[in-house]
Structure 1
Amino acid sequence: MDNRKKNIKIFTGITTGVVVLVTLIVAFVLPTTAEEKRGKHEPVPEGSYIATTIISILENYHYSKPQINDDVSKSLFDEYIKKLDPNKLYFTADDIKIFSEYKTSLDDQLKTGNTDFAFVVYRRFLQRLEERNDYVKKNINNKFDFSKDETFVVKREGVSWAKDKNELDEIWRKHIKNQLLQAKLQEMQQQKDNEKKKANKKDSKQDENTDPQNSNREVADEKDNREVADEKDNREVADEKDSKKDWKQTAEERIIKRYKNYHTFMSGNDGYYILEAYLTSLTSLFDPHSNYLNWRTLSNFQISLSLSLQGIGAVISSENGYPKISSVVPGGPADRQGELKAGYYIVSVTQENGEQTSVIDMPLNQVVQKIRGEKGTKVTLTVLKNLQDVPFNIVITRDEVKLTERAAKGDTREITLNGGEKKNIGVITLPSFYRDFDAFEREDPNAKSTTRDVKRIIEDMQKKNVEGLVIDLRSNGGGSLDEVVDLVGLFIPQGAVVQVKNLSGEIKVREDNDDNFAYKMPLVVITDTFSASASEIFAGAIQDYKRGIIVGNNTYGKGTVQSLFGLGRKPKAGALKYTISKFYRPTGASTQQKGVAPDITYPTFVDQNKYGESSLPHVMPWDTIKSLSPNQEVFNAHKSLAQIKKQARERMDNDAKFQTLKSYIAKVRERQQDNAVSLNLEKRRTMQEQEQKWYEQIEKILGQQEEEDAVKKDEDLFLEESVSVLRDLMQAK
């Protein structure tokens, strides 16, 4: 491993002796099929080398230095089964019982390079997929009574395995019924939306006709425009009819196709995919950011780093078998389109050519491949706002996330202090911590850099005599460690910014001591749950030095660093991404799991415990190291913090929008706790209409909803409150 450094890429952001027994499983548990004879779902030649090499790297170089033993074997067993069947919809209790005979021997198998167990389980999984596929085809056209009071458990992770085929059939009867019910509700919603569009269009024409000037102009232009308008109207009517016709013909067929495609897709995976799924189940036991990349995944990963493939600009995780939007990348295609939100679940992905693929239970890396595509092409995501909701479509045009759209932006505004004195302040929006490393290596004086851009923005602001700053880090997922150290240096005279501890216990301190300090003005920093990694380092340092006030919501909590190590020697060996170090604040507190807690908290339904690092399985723990005792008396923005917090709380308590928002957030959170949904059409429809009103009100309050005149509201409730906090800080100073 001495040549390891030559093969490492560093990532700081959201980035035996029982061979005979296993052979008996292969012979006894599953029949041999034609596909297996061809070796498609059999161990790969490189598998033994890959497995033993990964075991060695994990035990010797992973930050936690885990020991691969019987306890790990038990956890690996559970994790791999969960990866294949997270909602317990395919395997039965009998399957698990047979597999469980080897629950404590998987560690021994891997140490000798034996990965047979992964392939045995996968072949049984394909067999169960085929059985469920047949069940759907035979039962989809049954008469389902949607007036009956039944419920379906949508989050099945914590329930017991079905004891036999009959019990599993009953689960699937309700599973199919739920999907048909969603289809009915979606059709009803589409009809309602179409009627609303027609009514709005009719009202718009009537308004135009009542204006004599518009009427005269219409008469003059009518002859030239009639054909174009008629063609457009006819096309819209035709599209609507085709859509309705297609829906009526394919409601049941779509579900059949969904499971047929899923079975075909999973059957198409070869031994390299199966090995990746199994070994990633192992690596993820030690932290959620460590995983094995097979040679195909590694190639796609490298392409994504070079931005040669375009996507939608969203971070995707998994929950209960559903791909879930963890965050939307600022400036990306999804962000510009505006409909996709964090917390939405993806049901299916439809390509521009009409090919639709269900992505429920699909591995995340393959979901990402379905969403990616050529720049300029469209992809349709069928999504749910929550697992009890009705699915709807969002069409996004693929594009790259341009650096210019993720660059820092600034604006100035005027505020009034209590005595009536006018002051100018600056607002800087910072979507990422970016740096053009190639240009820096060339010593290009115009190299793109977060710190350089922010400094230039503030210098321009100072021409307008700004006396305070708000820095908005919401949805900033991190980036360059060098940039965050330099940026903190603009606001503190000197000192440690972050401590980095490696697996041997060595601590390296990254500090700013290059005379970069430039700005003494009062500072407020806004964070949310999607402020991660470098954002947390910045917010933590500003808070530790009492340099400014942190407002918003608890940050994500990613305080670890990963390296990518190519396994080499074999052409299809792939690579291992694993955790090598942890971040700590100047005070010695880790940013891992807990993140940075704001001094003043805003209401949100995006809970850090549900969307942050702490929501992931097998997260590395929070801990502390020795404090570097940051100099907190240089500015001491916290001197009046108690009074400023009191003023903010009184403002929010007396603000109708904040109070209404809190009430709707409470309703949404309560609904999200439901583990089961009604299969009664009227009850479900009532729930749908109720939830739709809640979300509309939340979006309206947050300034995310378009008004009837199609003019988007500019007001940002949380930004306005942050400006008020800055005003209080300037007043106190």
Structure 2
Amino acid sequence: MLPRIALVSLLVFAVSAAAAPTQPPLLKPTPAEAKAAYLSAQALTRFHYAPQPLDDAMSQKIFKAYFDALDGEKLFFTQADIDRFGAARTQLDDAIWNGDLAVPFAIFNLYEQRVVERLGYARGLLAKGFDFGVDESYDYDRKNAAWPKDDAEVNDLWRRRVKNDWLRLKLAGKNDADIRKTLDKRYANYLDRVQQLDAEDVFQTFMNAYATSTDPHTNYFGPRASQNFDIAMKLSLEGIGAVLERRDEYTQIREIVPGGPAAKSGKLHVGDRIVGVGQGTSGPITDVVGWRVDDVVELIRGPKDTTVRLEILPADAGVDGKHVNVALVRKKVSIEEQAAKKSIIEVKDGGAVRRIGVIDLPTFYQDFDARRRGDPEFKSATRDVARLLDELKQAKVDGVIVDLRNNGGGSLDEATRLTGLFIDKGPVVQRRAANGRIVEDDDTDPGMAWSGPLAVLVNRGSASASEIFAAAIQDYGRGLVIGEPTFGKGTVQNLANLDEMMGNEKPEYGELKMTTEEFFRIDGGSTQLRGVTPDIVFPKTVDAGDFGESSYDNALPWTQIAPAQYRKVADLSPLVPLLKQRHDARVARDPEWKLYLDELAAAQRAHDQTRVSLVYDVRERERKQTEAEQAAFKAREKALQQASAGAAGKSAAPAGVATAAKPASGSSDALVRIDDGLQPGERSLKTELAEEKAAEDARDVLLQEAAHILADEVDLVHADTRLAARVLPAQKSPID
């Protein structure tokens, strides 16, 4: 696994197999970074929700976290390397206070040296090949392993790793020549990614080792990362409207954003490679072949209404193909794939058809700067959802699902305001500061944008603001919570701009995203560690020990405070057992649900297998078993498709409407895939995009069942006016 700092680079150009790796230049800290470290320590020891002194004890935590960030799989450093810096275990606190970052940078420079050595050794093994009759194994999971004691032990680890990489490709049908070429390119790319890291990357990694040692959700952002975080929150930037990635030595266009300058020009296409960037109508073209993707992006972004010129190697041209020059005027571009979206599911049960509206909300976004400036049209998740609810009401839906699966949170203010769309008025969340002071965030706007049947769909990836919203909906009795228990993040982070603290106009110190409060449900309980338990629970797709707040060693404990003053708007207690009974009966006889459970079990078995044999015959037998299992899954899936098509006839749903009879597709591939031995970025872009499209188009079994559950509620309240009076808010609803 790459260190976290390397993830920003994506894929970079391959080093020639014949070229001997060169030692990268030694990186050194800047005076600005030394100052930023001191300012961060001041903030973390004074203003954090649970402040901890920056002392020898914290230094030891930072020491471990920094080495783990660089080499979490323990494949580069040896125990001798760790011992070499043993004195720093209790000295990193002094280094931060005194602005002397020589030791953290020395550790990184040694890391780079070890990467050169280990990958040079790995590439040297490729000429020799391997004996796959020797009875030995490779362990994928080395997070809790001991550091290799010496070079001999670490070389043996790499020998097994390379042997496994070779074996995976061999089992996928590659010949020896192709395997050597693929692996040599892979290791060269890895080496180059690490060698392109700069001082800002190193400093950010070290400071994050400190920040996350205080609690899991406190982070340091360098100036570049701070800009990207701001873009993610406001869902817009000023640029050309293209998603870029690294492939070999090129920056390649992966996606064209609809409505952006690139799309409107008609001159750029997915797969085009950017080889040069020029500023203005006549500025010189800078060759960007081999550059890090974020450095290329920095050249392309710029102020609105300014011109950027791109030198393009077209997607269908060879490496010696003719270049094309494209001039574009930068505009404000919305990142719509992270914005709220709507759809409608038609649930057919006997002669009745229930229309269930779905609002998919990937994040709780808000353009903070635009709101501060008083822009009445600032980007807001709540404003977008309110508009979508109006459209769903016009479409005469019977119920609404808010899909928060994998929504990791965002703006606390948006969570409060979004809850207000579904309740009249009242408290939404309680927050406790470090001094013990408790404040409430209230919805003060009267009325509801939607007062009919409501469900919130969650999973383990639903965190923070998602948990605030789901908990409030549950505590008010306003709607059902369906899915997996949520992440369990019950803390609030605020951004501390270090440049603003120092009155800097030019960003050079970065930002801290720092835990400053803990939030509590209006019933007084925290979501910390425990998350939100759904009213109707779906099968778990991930182990709590692998993902979620409980997987962190330094997570804050669960606590409780007094409930807020609030009044439930409805009482779902008589409804939930009836819905659960119908749900259990339906999925027990649903072959599609059974297929999903079987695929999930297969995926869990694959996840649990962390040690693999390096004997060809053993692995070939295991692969054939997996292929047979996947073939059986696909046969069952095909039978379901045919049955669905037969039941639905040839009639098609209206545009924008998904029916419960929509054929299943790609579901098994989404859980377990036959190993092709390749890593992300090594497959063709066309193949990767096709796989992503198939995953998007695959039938969403969980969402469909959630729609059935909400349709059951609609049926029950239609049939029983007394029940309807208890489970729906006390005002006219769309189903009356």
TM-score when normalising by structure 2: 0.68
Deviation at 1:118, TM superposition (A): 1.0
Structure 1 counterpart of 2:703, from 716, 719, 725 = 719
In structure 2, the partner of 1:505 is 436
- The change in CA–CA distance for 1:612 and 1:704 in structure 2 (over 3 A counts) is farther
Inter-partner Cα distance in structure 2 for 1:434 and 1:111:
35
CA gap of 1:175–1:308, structure 2 versus 1, over 3 A, is farther
SS at match of 1:88: coil
CA distance in 1, matches of 2:237, 2:191: 31
The aligned amino acid for 2:447 is N
Alignment of 1:664 with 2:625, yes or no, is no
Q: Secondary structure at the match of 2:90?
A: coil
Q: How does 1:133-532 map to 2 (within 5 A)?
A: 133-188=119-174, 249=177, 251-299=179-227, 301=229, 306-308=236-238, 352=273, 369=294, 402-403=335-336, 406-411=339-344, 413=346, 425-434=356-365, 449-462=380-393, 466-532=397-463
Return the offset for 1:67. 1.6
Q: Is the CA contact 1:529–1:607 (under 8 Å) kept in the aligned structure 2?
A: no
For the 8 Å contact 1:553–1:598, the answer to whether it is kept is yes
What pairs with 1:111-130 in structure 2 (closer than 5 Å)?
111-130=97-116
Instruction: Output the amino acid matched with 2:459.
Output: D
Report the CA distance shift for 1:421/1:105 in structure 2 as closer, same or farther (over 3 A). closer
User: Which residue is equivalent to 2:526?
Assistant: 590
How many equivalent pairs are there? 578
Map of 1:5 onto structure 2:
none
Contact 2:347 2:707 in 1 (8 A): no
Structure 2 residue 681 is the aligned partner of structure 1 residue 681: no
CA contact (8 A) 1:493 1:516 kept: yes
Q: Is the 8 A contact 2:48 2:515 kept in 1?
A: yes
- Of 471, 485, 490, 1:559 maps to 490
Q: Which residue of 2 aligns with 1:212?
A: none
CA distance 1:45–1:638, change in 2 (3 Å)? same
Which of 653, 664, 686 is the matching residue for 1:703?
Answer: 664
Alpha-carbon distance in 1 for matches of 2:393, 2:228 = 45
Are residues 1:49 and 2:35 paired? yes
Partner of 1:243: none
Amino acid at match of 1:487: L
Cα 1:645–1:163 change in 2 (3 A) is: same
Aligned-pair CA distance for 1:511: 1.3
Unaligned runs of 5+ in 1: 1-33, 189-246, 315-331, 337-349, 355-365, 381-398
1:542 corresponding residue in structure 2: 473
> Compared with structure 1, are the counterparts of its residues 719 and 49 closer, same or farther at alpha carbon in structure 2 (3 Å cutoff)?
closer
Q: Which amino acid aligns with 1:573?
A: Y
Letter of the 2:582 partner, please give it: Q
Task: Kindly indicate whether the alpha-carbon contact (under 8 Å) linking 2:667 and 2:699 is maintained by their aligned counterparts in 1.
Answer: no
> 1:729 is matched with which residue?
713
> Residue 369 and residue 594 in structure 1: after superposition, are their counterparts in 2 closer, same or farther (change >3 A)?
farther
Q: Distance in 1 between matches of 2:413 and 2:226?
A: 26
RMSD of equivalent CA atoms: 4.2
- Choose from 564, 567, 576 the match for 2:512: 576
Alpha-carbon distance between aligned partners in 1 of 2:51 and 2:173, rounded to the nearest angstrom: 54
Equivalent position of 1:625 in the other structure: 561
Distance 1:445 1:47 in 2: 38
Q: Alpha-carbon deviation of 1:495?
A: 1.6
Report if the CA contact (8 A) 1:668-1:691 is conserved.
no
Q: Deviations over 1:511-559 (max 9, x none)?
A: 1232133543222221223333332222111111122111112223333
- SS class of match (1:156): coil
| SS of aligned partner of 2:448 | coil
CA 263–517 in structure 1, closer or farther in 2 if over 3 Å, else same: closer
* CA distance 1:99–1:184, change in 2 (3 Å): same
What is the CA distance between 1:141 and its match in structure 2? 1.4
Could you say if the C-alpha distance between residues 667 and 313 of structure 1 is closer, same or farther in structure 2, counting changes exceeding 3 Å? farther
| CA drift at 1:142 | 1.6
Shift of 1:156: 1.2
Quote how far apart the aligned CAs of 1:283 are. Answer: 0.9
Which has the higher mean CA deviation after the structures are superposed, 427-436 or 61-70?
427-436
Whole-Å Cα distance in 2 between the matches of residues 289 and 468 of structure 1?
35
Kept in 2: contact 1:313–1:401 (CA 8 A): no
1:405/1:299 CA distance change after superposition, 3 Å: closer
Q: Which residue of 2 aligns with 1:655?
A: 590
Q: Is the 8 A contact 1:603 1:661 kept in 2?
A: no
1:542 touches 1:548 (CA, 8 Å); kept in 2?
yes
Residue 457 of structure 2 aligns to a residue in which SS?
Answer: strand
Q: 1:590 to 1:307 in 2, by over 3 A?
A: farther
TM-superposed CA distance for 1:151, in Å, is: 0.7
Q: Partner of 2:31: helix, strand, or coil?
A: coil
Query: What's 1:601 paired with?
Result: 537
Are the equivalent residues in 1 in contact too, given 2:346–2:353 (CA < 8 A)?
no
* 2:118 equivalent in structure 1: 132
Q: Deviations over 1:270-311 (max 9, x none)?
A: 444333222221111122332233344445555666534667
Distance 1:272 1:424 in 2: 52
Q: Distance in 2 between matches of 1:453 and 1:538?
A: 16
Contact 1:637 1:729 in 2 (8 A): no
In the alignment, the residues of structure 2 paired with residue 255 and residue 353 of structure 1 have an alpha-carbon distance, to the nearest angstrom, of: 25
Query: Do 2:338 and 2:361's aligned partners in 1 also have CA atoms closer than 8 Å?
Result: no
- For residues 639-665 of structure 1, give each alpha carbon's deviation from its aligned partner in whole angstroms, at most 9, with x where no partner exists: 232232233223222322223322332
Distance (whole Å) between structure 1 residues aligned to residue 667 and residue 131 of structure 2: 39
Which of 54, 73, 81 pairs up with 1:68? 54
1:637 aligned residue (560, 572, 575) = 572
> Structure 1 residue 65: deviation in Å?
0.9
Task: Check 1:550–1:677 CA distance in 2 against 1; reply closer, same or farther (3 A cut).
Answer: same
Q: Could you tell which deviates more after superposition, 435-444 or 420-429?
A: 435-444
- Are the aligned partners of 2:390 and 2:449 in contact in 1 as well (CA < 8 Å)? no
Q: Which residue number in structure 2 is paired with residue 97 of structure 1?
A: 83
Judged with a 3 Å threshold, the aligned counterparts in structure 2 of structure 1 residues 478 and 313 are, in CA distance, closer, same or farther, namely farther
Q: Is the 8 A contact 2:430 2:564 kept in 1?
A: no
- What SS does the aligned partner of 2:546 have? helix
Q: Relative to structure 1, is the Cα distance of residues 45 and 458 closer, same or farther in structure 2, using a 3 angstrom cutoff?
A: closer
Distance verdict in 2 for CA 1:530–1:372, change over 3 Å:
farther
Partner Cα distance (2:177, 2:142) in 1? 31
Determine the C-alpha separation between the residues in 2 that align with 1:43 and 1:436.
33
1:466 and 1:142 map into 2 onto residues whose CA distance is 65
Kindly indicate whether the alpha-carbon contact (under 8 Å) linking 2:415 and 2:469 is maintained by their aligned counterparts in 1. yes
Give 1:18-57 correspondences, 5 Å limit: 40-57=26-43
What's the secondary structure of 1:65's corresponding residue? Answer: coil
Q: Distance in 1 between matches of 2:594 and 2:80?
A: 52
Distance 1:432 1:46, change over 3 A: closer
Alignment deviations for residues 378-432 of structure 1 (CA, whole Å, 9 cap, x no partner)? 999xxxxxxxxxxxxxxxxxx9763377233143646558xx7766554444444
